[in-house]
């Protein structure tokens, strides 16, 4: 079955203060997906969000959102889009319910919508408190609740886990992961943490210095090269054994080896095979884990793979 795109941009470009901030961004966000928009701080993620929402106008390139051309017909797409950019913009002198009510009125929604989104985000109990008394996590939830008003077909969330404690991050992650099933929305979520996106997204795109350097299914990204770290009491013997078996091995520490797994999707089997072969050769294994990957690693991988433009 052919899948449409909730967001489709073509070579977006934007200069701010005479400096090119977005230098070619062609997104393809499949309908019904959770699309992780990854990039380091300053890569231009928030600017792309602003361009998508028409808060900023692109210097060149085109945007189609939910089937509407954002140059000629932005309001029809925006009416079906919920968003929070950078931080949940909330009026501190109002309660959560008061804040939600402002947006509800502007979107012409019934009052019951407020209760629905408060339930979805688990904020119903605290809705009568003023926002100034909220923790950052609660503000993020109210921001998400507001984005959910009117059951939008598309959600744009800019770093929704920013500033949250580990428990808050975990809850927000679950909430985002379930959104396509719960309200049938496509979710476009930005983050500078690869590990965050990895856990919620079905698709991902990598932005670097204003350029989309790769995008595709999360599986495809994960299928790229990964590294297994092995702690052992006999590192020299282990290197000899593994190198002879055709593996790429380097020292990762005094008693640690780093072994490259070229097929990331088969990483679990690979780790098991390495462990078995070492133990069967009488080499003790004290640690077996994946080396955490940085965005930089992924960019390097992207340069060597043809993942760009493989979204659907």
Partner 1 sequence: MIQLIRTEIAKLGGSLALLFALVVPALTSCLALLTIVVNERQSSWEMILGGFTLPLWVLFIFPMATATFATLCAQIEYRAKAWDHLLALPYPRWQLFAAKAIVVQGALMLMTVLLFVYTYGLISLAGWIIGEMPSGNPQVARIADSSVRFLAAGLLLTVIQLWVALRFANFVIPLAVGIAGTLVGLAVTMVGTEDADWFPWVLTLRASGEDWMQPVLIGLTGGIIAIGLMLLDLSRRAPR
Asked if 89 touches partner 1 (CB under 8 A), the answer is yes
Least distance from C-beta 77 to partner 1, angstroms?
A: 8
Asked if 105 touches partner 1 (CB under 8 A), the answer is yes
Least distance from C-beta 273 to partner 1, angstroms?
A: 50
Contact characters 32-61, partner 1, x per CB under 8 A: ------------------x--xxxx-----
65 phi and psi angles, rounded to 5 deg: -125, 125
Contact characters 120-149, partner 1, x per CB under 8 A: ----------x---------------x---
Record the tokens describing residue 31, joined without a space: 């309908």
Asked if 91 touches partner 1 (CB under 8 A), the answer is yes
- Residue 21 or residue 311: which is nearer to partner 1 going by CB? 21
Asked if 114 touches partner 1 (CB under 8 A), the answer is no
Contact between 55 and 46 (Cβ < 8 Å): no
Count the helices and strands in the chain (H runs, E runs): 11, 15
Position among 32, 62, 94, 308 found at the interface with partner 1 (CB under 8 A):
94
Asked if 73 touches partner 1 (CB under 8 A), the answer is no
Distance CA 10, CA 194 (A): 24
Asked if 67 touches partner 1 (CB under 8 A), the answer is no
Distance CA 80, CA 277 (A): 55
Distance CA 301, CA 280 (A): 33
Asked if 17 touches partner 1 (CB under 8 A), the answer is no
Which region among 92-100, 166-174, 219-227, 286-294 touches partner 1 (by CB under 8 A)?
Answer: 92-100
Asked if 174 touches partner 1 (CB under 8 A), the answer is no
Least distance from C-beta 86 to partner 1, angstroms?
A: 7
- Residue 54 or residue 177: which is nearer to partner 1 going by CB? 54
Asked if 108 touches partner 1 (CB under 8 A), the answer is yes
Q: By C-alpha distance, which of 269, 311, 256, 265 is closest to 37?
A: 311
Record the tokens describing residue 116, joined without a space: 């629905």
Contacts of residue 218, defined as CB under 8 A and 6 or more positions apart, other chains included, come to: 36, 197, 198, 201, 202, 203, 204
Provide the 3-class DSSP secondary structure of residue 230: strand
Asked if 90 touches partner 1 (CB under 8 A), the answer is yes
Alpha helices in the chain (DSSP H): 45-52, 74-78, 96-107, 112-120, 136-148, 166-183, 194-200, 218-222, 235-244, 267-280, 295-304
Q: What are the residues binding partner 1 (CB under 8 A)?
A: 50, 53-56, 74-76, 78-79, 81, 83-87, 89-94, 98, 101-103, 105-108, 130, 146
């Amino acid at each position: 079955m052919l899948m449409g795109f909730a967001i489709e941009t073509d070579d977006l470009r934007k200069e701010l203060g005479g400096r090119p901030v977005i230098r070619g961004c062609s997104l393809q966000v499949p309908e019904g997906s959770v699309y992780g928009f990854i990039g380091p701080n300053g890569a231009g993620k928030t600017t792309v969000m602003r361009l998508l929402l028409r808060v900023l106008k692109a210097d060149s390139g085109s945007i189609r959102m939910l089937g509407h051309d954002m140059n000629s017909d932005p309001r029809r797409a925006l009416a079906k889009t919920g968003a929070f950019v950078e931080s949940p913009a909330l009026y501190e002198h109002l309660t959560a319910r008061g804040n939600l009510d402002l947006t509800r009125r502007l979107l012409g929604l019934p009052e019951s919508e407020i209760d629905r989104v408060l339930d979805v985000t688990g904020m119903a109990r605290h809705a009568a408190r003023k926002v100034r008394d909220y923790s950052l996590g609660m503000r993020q939830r109210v921001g998400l609740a507001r984005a959910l008003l009117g059951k939008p077909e598309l959600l744009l969330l800019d770093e929704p886990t920013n500033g949250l404690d580990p428990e808050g991050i975990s809850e927000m992650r679950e909430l985002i992961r379930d959104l396509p099933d719960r309200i049938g929305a496509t979710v476009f979520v930005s983050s500078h943490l690869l590990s965050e996106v990895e856990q919620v997204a079905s698709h991902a795109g990598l932005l670097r210095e204003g350029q989309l350097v790769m995008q595709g299914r999360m599986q495809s990204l994960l299928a790229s090269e990964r590294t297994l770290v092995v702690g052992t009491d006999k590192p020299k013997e282990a290197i000899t054994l593994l190198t002879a078996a055709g593996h790429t091995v380097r020292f990762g520490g005094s008693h640690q080896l780093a072994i490259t797994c070229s097929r990331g999707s088969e990483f679990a089997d690979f780790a098991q095979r390495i462990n078995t072969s070492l133990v069967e050769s009488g080499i003790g294994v004290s640690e077996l884990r994946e080396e955490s990957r940085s965005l930089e690693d992924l960019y390097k991988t992207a340069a060597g793979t043809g993942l760009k433009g493989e979204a659907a």
